[in-house]
Chain A
Amino acid sequence: MKKNQFKAFLSALLFFVGVGMYAQSVSGTVTSEDGPLPGATVVVKGTANGTTTDFDGNFTIAASADAILEVSFVGFTTQEVAVGGQDQITITLATDNELEEVVVTGYGSQRQKEITSAVVKVDAEDFNKGNINDASQLLQGKVAGLQVYNRGGDPNAAATIRLRGISTVGANAQPLVVIDGVIGASLANVDPSDIESINVLKDGSAAAIYGSRGSSGVILVTTKSGKEGKVQFNYNGQLGVTSALNTVDIMTAQEFVAAGGTDLGSDTDWVDEVTRQALTTIHNFSAAGGHGDTSYRISANFRDVEGVLISSDFQQFNTRLNFTTKALNDKLTINFNSALTKREQNNGSSESMKYAVLYNPTAPIYGVDSPYQFASEQFGGYFETLGLFDSYNPVSIANQQINKGDKTEVNYSVNLNYKVSDAITVNGNFANQVSKYSNKLYNPTTLLRGGNATSPLRKGLAEFYDQTYSFKLAELYGNYNANFGNTKLVLTAGYSFQQQNFEDHFTSLGDFPDNSLDYINAVEYSQDLLNAGLIGANSNKSPDDRIIAFFGRANVTIDDAIFINASIRREGSTKLGADEQWGIFPAIGVGVDLNKYLNTGADKFKVRVGYGVTGALPGPNGLSQQIRNFTYDGGQGGGSSSPSRDANPTLKWEEKAETNLGIEYRKGKWDATLDLYTRDISDFILERTVDVTLYPTGRRFENAGKLNTKGVELALNYEVNDMYTTGLVLSSYSTTLDEYVLDAEMRANLGAPGQNATAVVRVKQGEEIGQIWGPVFEGVSGGNPVFADINGDGQVIAAQDKALDDNVDMQELGNGIPDLELGWTNQIAFGDWTINAFFRGAFGHSLVNTFRAFYEPRLSTQGSYNFVNTELAQDGLTTARFSSLYVEKADFFKLDNLTVTRNFDMSNSDAFDSIQVSLNAQNPLVFTSYTGLDPEPALIDIGEDGRGADVLSPGLDRRNSYFASRSFTLGVNIKF
């Protein structure tokens, strides 16, 4: 209200001034569908002569009879009106959602309608709600083609983010994150509550301007900033409860004993013992405001999050400052951004979850309850089933192991924007980021797992790890704007310099006298010091890992309906082979607003085509160089080096070329965007087996092949009525291995016990990736599985190590990649209430349920482990051997996120501007036939140790997955 009065006053003043200065005047009224528009701008085209409408939408302006008036207002299409001798004109402006929809595209921004590539913007109000501690999860299911999967609910694990499926093989597959223009910034350093909007650049033509780091997609994050006006305070608080949603079906103590298991006399629900109702507390404070040319926002965020596993949690403090001001006669805009994150976490051991599943359910927790004489004090009071392979008391691990992480992240960036003239601006981006992480792990002398508690003398193990990562960015670029008739031109050219430094140190030493010493301050009592060779130590440094790039771009808009965007980036990296350091990344996109030329009756009908090339850099340094080991000879001090990895000086850029066709259509209550794409990833980098006679280490990094992905994405929105809007996002793709250095290969080994040399994913040239490959289970005979004679030759060859042989009886048992993924948003608003219900599903993918593959058969020799006992368990099967029996369809459909919000009317309050209370449920309903922990697709294989990231082997639900969880969160938002 105040603002409008001020504007009315201003308008009136201008009106009088105008009247005083110009004799010839034109009057008029500017209206919209809903009535008069106060504050609209009216300018005589080609002059500086302008005014704004008053409170009733009226204006008067001095203009000649042949002048053209340009009338514009935020949220409406600008209209040009010829005066044509009239002295009273009524102008009705049409609403234009796109006009103000400015989309950040990298080194600049464009109006939504000028975009020629697949770019999706998600605003804060559309983000996922509830117990979300990782910014990427805000987007889960919201953007067609963007896969965000956090299998299980580990509070300390980052989500796997994939854009349009597999984007690279040997390189970093996480998307490039750009925060407020800073390339390569850390998503972990932004609190989700500080994010204003996120743009996802989906196709190559948009991402190409980011060159070698753009292949895995680009996520542009814009943080909240201050606006002119009074200081606005905001408090957001959340209190959540999380519990394990699903655990592996295992036998109860009674069932276990009945099935012939060793009875140790107790009845323990191990899963229950290592999990909890976990509490989450979140507080976000912010203050934002501005005066004149200066605006600011400062925030402080506290998160105290417990994991479902009793030993996992984190506490995080984050603060962010955003400050903007102008100088040099307003020609220079200075923006300063800074953030600090301090986090302390208990990592917990996902092994406690694994052992909770397979530990004997009749075993007691504590040694005093042992059915036989047991030296409890040696194990910290806990019971242990000594002498079994891979069997450890999960409660003992969870309670005794110390696994603490400590993380500090700081970044600051300065953006200088200098307006040389109306046509030319020059930008400088300077950013610095430092991340430090340290981890302290201690397996006490009384811990069997890793602490060697059975030994009379040598026990306990301490590990220390710290790493420092720093990143520097310096970029300079300029923009030039020009208009030629009905053609608008924007040229951009610039230079980018990026440098990363990484360093880490690792030390492990063990054999402590007992637990009475605080190991962190008493490592001098380690017996390993007596024999220095037994102290583990490792350090790595990869300094001055640089990227240097030159880029240019032209945006051409013709007739405000034909849009052409072309860019080129030439970029070099230290990580590539000496002869192949530089790459060129071109892109072109064309879009046409067909509505302007065809009378379709639609509100929007735009077609766009884009083509772009991006790259992907390998993760580690030095892949092109030979690396050697140094061997000391018998501890005598002398020794020599010998090769440990072979060089490849011709290692070159992994390139992704992508063509995208998009159609955007809106009519009435319908809004639809369809994207079709095809992309080729060529020269993907992979460490592979090479001819050992030529390369003695047998492995080296090579440009190993080519992948093609074809996909389709559809986003549909429908406004059912004033109260209810709904949106559907669908995506589907398939990826084929067009070329590969080998004809075929088996990947993803299941592992011990007994299933080594049991790789279950087949990669074959010319075929789709993600094939789970093995024998088909037909039944049980004499305790053994019977497999199908697939080729009908009368003999069954089903040993997994022969999977690639010609006469083998195996087939594709499922595919790890979903055929269709779906996100369905629903928003219902009535009065002060809003309900958001978000459903999500994935269909057509399978998972290898490894818990079942190892522990469901009733192995007579493993009667002291619990048995997994799903409805798929086979009576009488007593040997574990991989087959179709353990490959399950993992289709799911779930109510992912349900939020009910109540707004309280505070218009009569002096203290508060608004109060909002919300109740949120994550994962309240899941529909799936999958018997394992979590039916979410496993897009990468984490390997037996849980540390891998093999993108060529999707579809494995590994034993060390964190339990999936369900949360309920109460939130309050107060503005004052």
Chain B
Amino acid sequence: MKSFFRTMLLATSASAVLFSCTDLEEELVGEITTAVSVSAPASSGGAGGGGDALAGAYAQLRNSGTANHFGYFSLNGIASDEMAIAAKGGDWYDGGVLIEVHQHTYTPTNGMVGSAWNGQYGAIGSINDAIANLGLDNAQTAQMRALRAYFYWRLLDMFGSVKIVTAPGQTASQSNPQQVFDFIESELLATLGITAVTSSMDLSTSPLGLDNNTYRINRFAAMGMLAKLYLNSEAYTGVAKFQEAHDAADYIIANGPYRLSDSSVSVPNLGKRPSVDSDPDNLTGYAAIFAPNNEGNPEHIFSVNYDEATGGGMNFAKMTLHYSSQFTWNFQDQPWNGYAALEDFYNSYDDNDLRKANNFIVGPQLDFGGSAVLDYASDDGDPPLNYTPRINELQPNSLREAGARLGKFSFQQFGRPDQNNDFPIVRLGDIHLIRAEAAARANSNWNHPTTLADVNAIRARAGVSAMTNITADDFLAERGREMFQETSRRTDLIRFGKWTSAWWEKPVEADDHTALFPIPFEQIQAGDGLSQNPGY
């Protein structure tokens, strides 16, 4: 027995020496596990400027569902009267989610609602991480706070009562809409170095810069966010702040280096088919704002930097186009035949409105060589693909060719799965309309001179005649035509009291509880202390 233990002791100690027996530290050499940032030399900066410590946080604009399927864009888009995804036989039913969103019958388990919530908090988490771990300077921290405020604005707009978290790992209780509003306002004001928006404010102490780099938040971008917040203040908190909205928008127009993208602004048409003569060589004016090569457009104040190789996340071509439209643009991926504009919305444009041709794809389609694009499974047995503005039904058997398609962010030849078009978050056209509406509402006069001037500036650029007498409904329609596909419509319908009205296959609603989406079921289950919005 003794010799046994002696042997074992020897064996154990020998092996201990051999294999350093208690070293269990895990080293992940295939992953990044600590905060890293690399700044590119300033001279390497192009339109987007050099990469820096903020890149990861700004990338969250792409990751948070801004221009792809089943997140922020989808939820806000198909819940409005701009667009819908109709079920086509078995296709696009998807558990009923898409129909529920369009008809406002969503419940807390709706996956799209959950995805929209998670996208924004994911972004906020990255921003909190950057502030805490990346050693930012004052100006950078201010940008991060403004960007975070923007994401909280999205949450306020969609969900109302949310948790405000400002540091990694911080626990928080749920704030009410007024508290969330106050937080966003105070953060944006702080980054602008002011305590209130007035007609005579002085931004000289703002840590934010004045550089015209549209991928970074400067003073005008932060001011634009404030303008949007104030415009909707009444809808969020019951307290109207239209004068503040006016002053914020006015400041940008008066002081910013931006101008409307009119007929003097032109970029090469990357979607042109050489053998199709009707394709223009250049995209001009309104179309240039959204083109695949729209970086540096003079109307962009703050935009999301999408890139087919380094900044993926814009998939409009796949989301909206019919499968066969692949041959018009020679896309690498086959499209999905999903999103289409509602017929009434399409018809709200005059035929000579330049925006109509840019925003929608309708009619017979031609391929790269100029021949008709064919759909051998066409419902009418007539193979040539022809997009009709009319959609026969929301479900269950919408026709494959039904519906004008979303063409605002136009497509380029040989397009990759991800698009190159930058997505404007704050742009001057929107700022003009905010000023117009704020002036009208602050003065209870839809024909206020500022309103008329701004609206007609936008209309002139679109090639349509000036308005002389405007009603609230006219204004909403005009705003709709201008802002289509830019995730503004749902907020606008709520602000104009039209959210519960009937349109197409969406019935009228008994109350307006659906103006806020339900807090996602998964998050109520996973997190502490989240209570559901009223009505769910």
Binding site for B on A (CB under 8 A): 262, 264, 385-389, 420-421, 423-424, 426, 452, 454-458, 474, 476-478, 480, 482, 491, 493-495, 497, 531-534, 539-546, 548, 550, 572-575, 578, 581, 621-622, 624-643, 688-698, 741-743, 752-759, 783-784, 799-805, 854, 857, 859-865, 878-882
Expressed in whole angstroms, the minimum distance between the Cβ of B236 and any Cβ of chain A is: 20
Q: Is the CB of A622 within 8 A of B94?
A: no
Known interface pairs A638-B51, A783-B396, A800-B96; 20 further A-B residue pairs with C-beta atoms within 8 A, sorted by A's residue number: A262-B377, A387-B324, A426-B7, A542-B30, A548-B23, A629-B56, A633-B48, A633-B215, A635-B307, A636-B44, A639-B38, A640-B130, A641-B34, A694-B165, A696-B125, A754-B93, A758-B94, A802-B107, A861-B397, A863-B377
Residue with the greatest number of chain B CB neighbours at <10 A, chosen from A573, A753, A857 = A753
Q: List 7 A-B contacts (CB under 8 A).
A: A578-B26, A633-B54, A753-B92, A754-B91, A857-B90, A862-B90, A878-B396
Given contacts A387-B327, A743-B525, contact A497 B4 (CB under 8 A): no
Q: For A497, list chain B residues within 8 Å (CB).
A: 15, 19, 21
Please list the 8 inter-chain residue pairs (A to B) with the smallest Cβ-Cβ separation, ordered nearest first.
Answer: A696-B125, A533-B309, A799-B96, A638-B51, A880-B90, A633-B51, A638-B40, A387-B324
Given contacts A474-B19, A497-B15, contact A880 B93 (CB under 8 A): yes
Q: For A573, list chain B residues within 8 Å (CB).
A: 24
Given contacts A387-B373, A632-B51, A640-B55, contact A755 B109 (CB under 8 A): no
Q: Is the CB of A454 within 8 A of B327?
A: yes
Q: For B209, list chain A residues within 8 Å (CB).
A: none
Partner of B523, one of A495, A542, A546, A691: A691
Q: For A882, list chain B residues within 8 Å (CB).
A: 95
Q: Does B374 lie at the interface of the complex (its beta carbon under 8 Å from any beta carbon of A)?
A: yes
Bound CA span A426–B11, Å: 9
Stretch at the interface among B331-339, B434-442, B503-511: B331-339
Q: For A386, list chain B residues within 8 Å (CB).
A: 324, 327, 374, 376
Q: Does B3 lie at the interface of the complex (its beta carbon under 8 Å from any beta carbon of A)?
A: yes
The residue in chain A whose Cβ has the minimal distance to the Cβ of B60 is A642
Q: For B194, list chain A residues within 8 Å (CB).
A: none
Q: Is the CB of B332 within 8 A of A455?
A: yes
Q: Mark B351-393, 1 if CB is under 8 A from A, else 0.
A: 0000000000000000010000111110100000100000000
Q: Is the CB of B310 within 8 A of A630?
A: no
Q: For A801, list chain B residues within 8 Å (CB).
A: 94-97, 100, 109-111
Q: Is the CB of B30 within 8 A of A642?
A: no
Q: For B28, list chain A residues within 8 Å (CB).
A: 542, 621-622, 625, 627
Expressed in whole angstroms, the minimum distance between the Cβ of B107 and any Cβ of chain A is: 6
Bound CA span A560–B165, Å: 68
Q: Is the CB of B125 within 8 A of A697?
A: yes
Partner of B8, one of A456, A478, A697, A755: A478
Q: Does B46 lie at the interface of the complex (its beta carbon under 8 Å from any beta carbon of A)?
A: yes
Q: Mark B11-52, 1 if CB is under 8 A from A, else 0.
A: 110111011011111111111111111111000111011111
Expressed in whole angstroms, the minimum distance between the Cβ of A960 and any Cβ of chain B is: 18
Q: For A629, list chain B residues within 8 Å (CB).
A: 32, 56
Expressed in whole angstroms, the minimum distance between the Cβ of A108 and any Cβ of chain B is: 15
Q: For B121, list chain A residues within 8 Å (CB).
A: 692-693, 696, 698
Residue with the greatest number of chain B CB neighbours at <10 A, chosen from A482, A533, A698, A805 = A698
Q: Is the CB of B336 within 8 A of A639?
A: no
Q: Is the CB of B29 within 8 A of A541?
A: yes
Expressed in whole angstroms, the minimum distance between the Cβ of A434 and any Cβ of chain B is: 19
Partner of A424, one of B4, B56, B399: B4
Q: Is the CB of A800 within 8 A of B169?
A: no
Given contacts A482-B1, A637-B44, A857-B90, contact A627 B118 (CB under 8 A): no
User: How many B residues face the partner with a CB closer than 8 A?
Assistant: 123
Question: What number of A-B contacts does a CB cutoff of 8 Å give?
Answer: 375
Q: Is the CB of B376 within 8 A of A696?
A: no
Q: Does B256 lie at the interface of the complex (its beta carbon under 8 Å from any beta carbon of A)?
A: no
Q: For B242, list chain A residues within 8 Å (CB).
A: none
Q: Is the CB of A548 within 8 A of B22?
A: yes
Given contacts A636-B50, A799-B95, contact A420 B368 (CB under 8 A): no
Q: For A495, list chain B residues within 8 Å (CB).
A: 11-12, 15-16, 21
Expressed in whole angstroms, the minimum distance between the Cβ of A32 and any Cβ of chain B is: 38
Q: Is the CB of B7 within 8 A of A757?
A: no
Given contacts A534-B416, A634-B305, contact A742 B526 (CB under 8 A): yes
Q: Does B172 lie at the interface of the complex (its beta carbon under 8 Å from any beta carbon of A)?
A: yes
Expressed in whole angstroms, the minimum distance between the Cβ of A653 and any Cβ of chain B is: 13
Q: Is the CB of A860 within 8 A of B379?
A: yes
Expressed in whole angstroms, the minimum distance between the Cβ of A447 and any Cβ of chain B is: 14
Expressed in whole angstroms, the minimum distance between the Cβ of B33 and any Cβ of chain A is: 5
Bound CA span A864–B19, Å: 64
Q: Is the CB of B51 within 8 A of A491?
A: no
Q: Is the CB of B215 within 8 A of A420?
A: no
Given contacts A424-B3, A783-B397, contact A861 B377 (CB under 8 A): yes
Given contacts A262-B377, A424-B7, A854-B90, contact A628 B33 (CB under 8 A): yes
Q: For B21, list chain A residues within 8 Å (CB).
A: 495, 497, 548
Bound CA span A183–B200, Å: 77
The residue in chain B whose Cβ has the minimal distance to the Cβ of A806 is B107
Bound CA span A456–B126, Å: 41
The residue in chain A whose Cβ has the minimal distance to the Cβ of B23 is A546
Q: Is the CB of B125 within 8 A of A879?
A: no
Expressed in whole angstroms, the minimum distance between the Cβ of A459 and any Cβ of chain B is: 9
The residue in chain A whose Cβ has the minimal distance to the Cβ of B19 is A497
Bound CA span A542–B521, Å: 36
Q: Does B53 lie at the interface of the complex (its beta carbon under 8 Å from any beta carbon of A)?
A: yes
Partner of A857, one of B89, B307, B310: B89
Q: Does B487 lie at the interface of the complex (its beta carbon under 8 Å from any beta carbon of A)?
A: no
Bound CA span A545–B21, Å: 13
Q: Is the CB of B397 within 8 A of A480?
A: no
Q: Does B344 lie at the interface of the complex (its beta carbon under 8 Å from any beta carbon of A)?
A: no
